[in-house]
Amino acid sequence: MLQPRSIQSALGFRDKILSIDYILVLSILVLGIISMFAMYSTDGGEFKYHTNSHILRFFVFFGMFFLISFIQLRFWHNTSYLIYISIFILLLSVKYFGLTSSGSKRWLDLYFMNLQPSELMKVGLILFLAKYYHRISIDKINSIKYLCLPIVALIAPLILVATQPDLGTSILIASGGVVVAWLAGVRAKFFVYSGVAMLALLPIAISFLKPYQKSRILTFLNPERDPLGAGYQIIQSKIAIGSGGLFGKGFLNGSQSYLDYLPEKHTDFIFTLFSEEFGFFGSLFILLLYTLIISRIIRIGNLTRSSFGKLYCYSFATAFFIYVVVNMMMVLGLLPIVGSPLPIMSYGGSSMMSIMFGLGIVMSCKIYKDVPVN
Amino acid sequence: MLSLGSGNTIIKSKLIGRRMFLITAAKAVVMVGLVGRLISLQINQATKYRSLSDKNRFREWKLAPERGVIKDFFNKEIASNEPLYQVHLIPENAKDIDNLFVRLKAILNISEKKVSYLKRTIKKQKPWEPIIISKNLSWSDFSRLNLFLHELDGVEPIVSVARTYPDNSSAHVLGYVSQISAKDLQNKKYLAELAVPGMAIGKTGLERKLDEKIIGQIGYQRYEVNAFGKRIKEIKVNTGQAGQSFKTTLDYEVQKYTNELLKDKAAAVCVMDVYNGDIVSLVSSPTFEPNAFIHGLDKNYWNSLIKDEKKPLSNKALSGLYPPGSTIKTLVALSALEHGIIKPLDTFRCKGKIELYGEKFHCWEKKGHGIVNLRKGIQRSCDVYFYEIARKLGVDRLSETAKRFGLGKKVLNDFIEEKSGVVPNTKWKKKFIGQNWYLGETLHSGIGQGYFQSTPIQLCLMTAQIANGGFEIKPRILSDGRNNKLRDYLKFKNDNPNQPLPADLLVANYNLKPLFKNQEHINLIKDAMFSSSNEPGGTSYRHRHQDPKFTFAGKTGSSQIKRFTEAQREAEVKQNELDYKDRDHALFVAFAPYKNPQYAISVLVEHGGSGGKAAAPIAKKVIKKVLERHELRRNVNNLMGESV
């Protein structure tokens, strides 16, 4: 268990290749290919803009995933704070130079792509907190003094993103951070206290909500409230999924999306489209793929030795799970429409980049599982 | 340091592992929940969502079915269908709307006003919604348009069918069709499933009565539409089913002839087969142009129709109410005979007027008719004679006979516009006017004035039932192919002249309902009517037919509009010296041929003056026309009789 450092650092290329988790890679690839077909269907059975750029992005970021995998985990540990701070600066610059689209300022124009730093922050915050809790000793974890920095690191991007406004992504970012803190051993009572505090602050928070956000929540509670307005998306999504039945309507035959009844079919509602065309069994297959990916990440967390690696893998797996579940619950009418993409499946460069980046570090944990990070 | 660090790491790892286990358990629960939701939506409620999705996906456009045709007795179409040429435009298919309208204006001759109206409409609606450029194009315009079609992107020539009538001679009987109104949808239940925008429905006459069956079954085009309502592709077409066609008892040739005769008069004619009640002709004048209603009525034309004091839109033969005047005298005489009030040869002296409780009742003949019996009373239409017998008969017995012969109730049940008229009696007056009956009113009723109100078709039925020997007939305008047994009975009677059937056997064997107690009384009335038309001194003697083939027996009548003042009576003012509005309505009823009656006729001329002068000449001509066509009609009847 305690082998000399020098032996472990001297991993050959062959060892690295062999220690890749091929089941995880294969699962990602299969999901990626499925997402390409789904995207092809949203374009009405043609290779149009969305399909082409989705395919390109998938392979570019899939390549990036391998690149990141082969970089030592120590490097990612050492640069964690830097990465977090860089993303934070990007978030700040969105505030000032961001592109505004449909009422919210979320993107930075990088000329070759529009970057959404809030997506990257999902991974950035996990990296930051994993390193933080890796470094402090177990007895300090629950002292108030050492709780301050994580709280600031969590709240700061949360506010920046929530005011873009993008409530959905800010909640998803926060959930990742909370998971790291929980895994690191922060006492349950802190979570209970902050939960109670949030409930108490809820009325105040509601008064800050934009009218459209309030309407989304009310609509979620009763979609028939406004079937042609805010309730439209939930209703049409449920119709699409329900009408898919056991086996689905067949590839390229999803009438709900083909005839434009389905909103946002490229991004948030891509699962709806897939589920309409491939039915219950298709949906189940997607769920299984996601379960497989998540369990492989957890397995890597089990294998890796460093607390940093464990914290990171477990947290990322849980965050990944939350992204998937929130998106699915949303399109299945179990949650309000908050605007969260489905990892890997949804159209969107930043989301794809962020997920592949996160998965790359997971794979790095696998390859360098026995190498201490400090 | 190293061991401390690694010990720390081990404790941390254990802690992390423990907490991760909790999270994993939670994840499993959530996953199961997701699968449960999928099962609920995609398996348990799949059918519900499937139908909701189809409801989204498909939209149906209704197609108006072809209206059934209406034919006359000889299968000539008197309400038929013609191809209708329309031009529609789908704005999104047009490259340049402005340019297109310039071209269309040149080809179709559309006004500048219409073009700007169309352009405004296009701006308001969705670009894929078709707009009607022209509702009803002539064939030449339509074919010219087709010639240029290749350069008119977005323009679609549409061929459908629309109602058409050969002329306006039967406008009142047939009625007219026009677009469904909101009120129609409310009132007519059968339209709920049928309503197609732009579909024409029957508004009056037979078109209205037959509407439910003649419309046919609606077709539809099912399209797949997207969320914005744009048609993506056609899924299914059902052209529906054309409506049922109907054959009437009318004779188009007689309709046309009669209509021409009545031109410019406010008048009505009704001709009926005295045996089976077939309405051969039913004309009201002035008429209107039924074709003008089909594609939206011109406002000026509509105004001219409703302002005309001759009321072209009302069907006078069915809904015009007129006191029957002297035409009722046949029934007064019959009633008196049947009740044993008078004998045919009982006489009264007519001095031109009688006095009753200080009130004077005048005969139309100021000089008086002298000694008058029943035959002469009817022949000369002597008012005094009828005052006398009406006084003896009483209004209640008279009204009973009048009702039996069809007055006071609707003759056909095909027309909502038909009126039932009034046959007054003491009870009626008490109920509707709230006063007791005066004897003087009985005298007025005896000559068909006062409260009496009848329609020309009722008078025709009355005459027909006298002509056929006093049997009840049920008039009909739709030829149902059924033959009643009256003709059979007459044949039996001719073959067995010495064995007249008793009344109860008549009912049992021939399903006939006699309206008399003694048929001899009917014959007396018919003979008197003959003398009125064919013997010197008769009121319509001047307009008789010399040819025995056409000889008719009739009775004149005039319904009073205004009572003469004493001064007018003294000055012997003639009807044609009065204002048009104040002149009496002229009436004439007759049946022909006298020897072997086939048809009954009633003629009304509003403000025509006297029946003998204004109405009888029209009857004379129509009778000739109808009898000339009798052979043809009998052949068809025989054919139909065999087929039953």
Signed CA dihedral, B370, B374, B378, B381: sign only: positive
Burial class (CB in 10 A: 0-12, 13-18, 19+), B611: buried
Is residue A214 situated within a structural domain? yes
- Give the domain extent around B107: 62-247
Instruction: Tell me what pLDDT residue A229 has.
Output: 64
Q: Give the span between the Cα atoms of B496 and B443, in whole angstroms.
A: 43
Instruction: Indicate the residue among B221, B247, B273 that finishes a domain.
Output: B247
What does the pLDDT look like over B572-583, one tens digit per residue?
A: 777 777 888 888
Kindly state the average pLDDT of the residues A338-363.
93
Query: Which candidate from B9, B31, B46 shows the least CB-CB separation from A245?
Result: B46
CA distances from B164 to B69, B242, B256 (A): 10, 16, 16
Is residue A53 situated within a structural domain? yes
Query: Which candidate from B11, B12, B41 shows the least CB-CB separation from A238?
Result: B41
Query: Which candidate from B24, B42, B57 shows the least CB-CB separation from A244?
Result: B42
Tell me the chain A residues in contact with residue B16 when contact means C-beta distances shorter than 8 Å: 183-185, 307, 310-311, 314
pLDDT above 60: residue B625: yes
Report residue B197's pLDDT band, with 50, 70 and 90 as the boundaries.
low
- Give the domain extent around A144: 17-367
pLDDT above 70: residue B268: yes
pLDDT above 80: residue B230: no
Is residue A139 situated within a structural domain? yes
CA-based nearest distance A93→chain B, Å:
35
Interface contact flag, B42 A259, Cβ < 8 Å:
no
Between B25 and A1, residue with greater pLDDT:
B25
B285 beta partners? B267
Residue B623 host element (H or E): helix B616-628
What does the pLDDT look like over B279-313, one tens digit per residue?
A: 999 999 899 999 988 877 888 999 999 998 889 99
User: Is B260 in the same domain as B123?
Assistant: no
Interface contact flag, B53 A305, Cβ < 8 Å:
no
User: Is B363 in the same domain as B332?
Assistant: yes
Instruction: Tell me what pLDDT residue B260 has.
Output: 94
Interface contact flag, B34 A325, Cβ < 8 Å:
yes
Other C-beta atoms closer than 10 Å to the C-beta of B569 total 14
Between A221 and B400, residue with greater pLDDT:
B400
Phi, psi dihedral angles at A247 (to 5 degrees): -110, -5
Interface contact flag, A245 B6, Cβ < 8 Å:
no
- Spatial neighbors of B461 by CB under 8 A, at least 6 apart, are B272, B277, B405, B406, B411, B473, B475, B600
Which residues of chain B are at the A interface, by a Cβ-Cβ cutoff of 8 Å? 2, 6, 8-9, 11-13, 15-17, 19-20, 23-24, 27, 30-31, 34-35, 37-39, 41-43, 45-46, 48-50, 52-54, 56-57, 224-228, 232
Q: Where are the alpha helices (DSSP H) in A185-306?
A: 188-208, 211-221, 232-244, 255-258, 270-303
Structural contact between residues A32 and A58, judged by C-beta atoms closer than 8 angstroms: yes
User: Is B345 in the same domain as B482?
Assistant: yes
Is residue B280 situated within a structural domain? yes
Kindly state the average pLDDT of the residues B212-218.
88
User: Is B394 in the same domain as B370?
Assistant: yes
User: What's the CATH code of the domain at B347?
Assistant: 3.40.710.10
User: What's the CATH code of the domain at B122?
Assistant: 3.90.1310.10
Is residue A195 situated within a structural domain? yes
Helix/strand number for chain B, H first, E second: 25, 19
Instruction: Tell me what pLDDT residue A221 has.
Output: 67
Q: Which of A217, A216, A323, A316 is nearest to A270 (CA)?
A: A323
User: Given the DSSP bridges, would you call strands B246-247 and B70-71 parallel, antiparallel or unpaired?
Assistant: parallel
Residue type (1 letter), B278: D
Report residue A7's pLDDT band, with 50, 70 and 90 as the boundaries.
very low
Residue type (1 letter), A111: Y
Instruction: Tell me what pLDDT residue B643 has.
Output: 39
Residue B417, token pair as written in the block: 């516009």
Residue A227, token pair as written in the block: 């079937």
User: Which residue matches tokens 């192919």?
Assistant: B481
Question: Among B23, B31, B41, B47, which would you mutate to test the A interface (most chain A Cβ atoms within 10 Å of its Cβ)?
Answer: B41
Number of domains in chain B: 2
Report residue B2's pLDDT band, with 50, 70 and 90 as the boundaries.
very low
Residue A290, token pair as written in the block: 């996601």
Tell me the chain A residues in contact with residue B56 when contact means C-beta distances shorter than 8 Å: 236, 239, 255-256, 259, 261
Average of per-residue pLDDT values in chain B:
87
User: Is B204 in the same domain as B293?
Assistant: no
Instruction: Tell me what pLDDT residue B219 has.
Output: 84
Residue of chain A whose alpha carbon sits nearest to that of B20: A183
Kindly state the average pLDDT of the residues B529-555.
93
Is residue B128 situated within a structural domain? yes
Is residue A12 situated within a structural domain? no
User: Which residue matches tokens 């009302």?
Assistant: B314
ipTM of the complex: 0.91
Structural contact between residues B554 and B577, judged by C-beta atoms closer than 8 angstroms: no
How many percent of chain A have pLDDT more than 70? 94
Is residue B236 situated within a structural domain? yes
Instruction: Indicate the residue among B247, B264, B286 that finishes a domain.
Output: B247
pLDDT above 90: residue A132: yes
Q: Which of B298, B294, B293 is nearest to B160 (CA)?
A: B294
CA distances from B547 to B215, B553, B593, B596, B620 (A): 47, 13, 10, 14, 12
Kindly state the average pLDDT of the residues B427-431.
93
Tell me the chain A residues in contact with residue B228 when contact means C-beta distances shorter than 8 Å: 260
Is residue A373 situated within a structural domain? no
Instruction: Indicate the residue among B247, B268, B284 that finishes a domain.
Output: B247
CA-based nearest distance B57→chain A, Å:
7
Is residue B628 situated within a structural domain? yes
Instruction: Tell me what pLDDT residue B508 has.
Output: 66
DSSP-assigned states of every residue in B187-215: H-GGGTTT--TT-EEE-SHHHHHTHHHHS
Structural contact between residues B283 and B174, judged by C-beta atoms closer than 8 angstroms: no
Radius of gyration of chain A from its Cα atoms, rounded to whole angstroms: 21
Interface contact flag, B52 A242, Cβ < 8 Å:
yes
User: Is B498 in the same domain as B365?
Assistant: yes
Report residue A371's pLDDT band, with 50, 70 and 90 as the boundaries.
confident
Is residue A8 situated within a structural domain? no
List the Cα angle B490/B552/B618 in 5-degree steps.
Answer: 130
- Spatial neighbors of A42 by CB under 8 A, at least 6 apart, are A50, A51, A257, A265, A266, A270, A273, A347
What does the pLDDT look like over B318-358, one tens digit per residue?
A: 999 999 999 999 999 999 999 999 999 999 999 999 988 88
Q: Give the span between the Cα atoms of B470 and B62, in whole angstroms.
A: 53
Q: Which of A28, A304, A267 is nearest to A169 (CA)?
A: A267
- Rounded to a whole number, what is the distance in angstroms from the first to the last CA of chain A? 16
What is the DSSP secondary structure assignment for residue A198, as one 8-state letter? Answer: H
Residue of chain A whose alpha carbon sits nearest to that of B51: A243
User: Is B175 in the same domain as B212?
Assistant: yes
DSSP-assigned states of every residue in A40-96: HHHTTSS--HHHHHHHHHHHHHHHHHHHHHHS-HHHHHHHHHHHHHHHHHHHHHHHH
Lowest mean pLDDT among A227-231, B122-126, B370-374, B602-606: A227-231
Please report the beta strands in B130-247, taking only residues with DSSP state E, as ranges in sequence order: 131-137, 155-164, 177-179, 200-202, 219-225, 231-238, 246-247
Residue A81, token pair as written in the block: 């704070």
- Spatial neighbors of B549 by CB under 8 A, at least 6 apart, are B593, B627
User: Is B497 in the same domain as B537?
Assistant: yes
Residue of chain B whose alpha carbon sits nearest to that of A320: B27
Kindly state the average pLDDT of the residues A70-77.
94
Is residue B25 situated within a structural domain? no
Q: Model's pTM, two decimal places?
A: 0.69
Kindly state the average pLDDT of the residues A92-99.
90
Residue of chain A whose alpha carbon sits nearest to that of B25: A318
Is residue A174 situated within a structural domain? yes
User: Is B355 in the same domain as B462?
Assistant: yes
How many percent of chain B have pLDDT more than 70? 95
Residue B275, token pair as written in the block: 């045996």
pLDDT above 80: residue A196: yes
User: Is B189 in the same domain as B215?
Assistant: yes
Instruction: Tell me what pLDDT residue B225 has.
Output: 84
Number of domains in chain A: 1
Question: Among A126, A133, A239, A277, which would you mutate to test the B interface (most chain B Cβ atoms within 10 Å of its Cβ)?
Answer: A239
Signed CA dihedral, B440, B444, B446, B447: sign only: positive
User: Is B609 in the same domain as B485?
Assistant: yes
What does the pLDDT look like over B3-42, one tens digit per residue?
A: 445 567 788 888 888 999 999 999 999 999 999 999 999 9
Interface contact flag, B19 A185, Cβ < 8 Å:
yes
Interface contact flag, B27 A185, Cβ < 8 Å:
no
User: Which residue matches tokens 């959530």?
Assistant: B30
Query: Which candidate from B27, B45, B228 shows the least CB-CB separation from A242?
Result: B45
Other C-beta atoms closer than 10 Å to the C-beta of B417 total 15
Q: Give the span between the Cα atoms of B378 and B397, in whole angstroms.
A: 19
User: Is B214 in the same domain as B273?
Assistant: no
Q: Give the span between the Cα atoms of A71 and A73, in whole angstroms.
A: 6
Interface contact flag, B56 A259, Cβ < 8 Å:
yes
A100 beta partners? A105
CA-based nearest distance A246→chain B, Å:
6
What does the pLDDT look like over A240-288, one tens digit per residue?
A: 999 999 999 999 988 888 888 888 888 899 999 999 999 999 999 999 9
Structural contact between residues A280 and B43, judged by C-beta atoms closer than 8 angstroms: yes
Query: Which candidate from B19, B48, B56 shows the least CB-CB separation from A183?
Result: B19
What is the DSSP secondary structure assignment for residue B346, as one 8-state letter? Answer: -
Lowest mean pLDDT among A94-98, A298-302, B622-626: A94-98
Q: Which of B436, B412, B434, B411 is nearest to B426 (CA)?
A: B436
Tell me the chain A residues in contact with residue B48 when contact means C-beta distances shorter than 8 Å: 242
Region of B567 on the Ramachandran plot (φ > 0 left; ψ -120 to 50 alpha; else beta): alpha
pLDDT above 70: residue A316: yes
